[in-house]
């Protein structure tokens, strides 16, 4: 919200009538986009979208690599939140508090 160059203030708008499970998944997905912007892998500059410093404005939604990454991380984070190990599907004892562990 604050600027396109090194943004630090974000607004996530979500549908409030989603089922709890869908709400959590969607929130993880959108928070991953925030992470992408903070890390600088996803940027908007002069109305053009850049992914890892490559002009990606021409890509269709299905081909956008930041969406592929956000969908993958949404799934991983949701599994972790539920206490499921992504590989073994076994219960974990805690939820890590840093996104950089993935």
C-alpha 88: how far from its chain's center? 23
Measured distance CA(84)–CA(77) in Å, rounded = 10
**Residue count (the chain):** 102
- Please report where in the chains the tokens 């009538």 appear, as a residue: 17
**What percent of the chain lies above the pLDDT cut of 90?**
66
93 Cβ neighbours under 8 A, 6+ residues apart? 83
Q: Give per-residue pLDDT as tens, 52-89.
A: 999 999 999 999 999 999 999 999 999 999 888 655 44
C-alpha 14: how far from its chain's center? 14
Measured distance CA(71)–CA(5) in Å, rounded = 25
């Amino acid at each position: 919200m604050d600027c396109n160059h090194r943004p630090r203030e974000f607004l996530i708008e979500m549908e409030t009538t989603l089922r709890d499970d869908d709400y959590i998944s969607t929130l993880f997905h959108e928070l991953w986009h925030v992470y992408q912007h903070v890390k600088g892998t996803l940027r908007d500059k002069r109305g053009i979208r850049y992914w890892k410093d490559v002009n990606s404005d021409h890509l269709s939604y299905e081909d956008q690599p930041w969406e592929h990454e956000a969908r993958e991380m949404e799934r991983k984070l949701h599994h972790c939140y539920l206490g499921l190990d992504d590989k073994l599907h076994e219960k974990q004892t805690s939820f890590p508090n840093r996104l950089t562990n993935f």
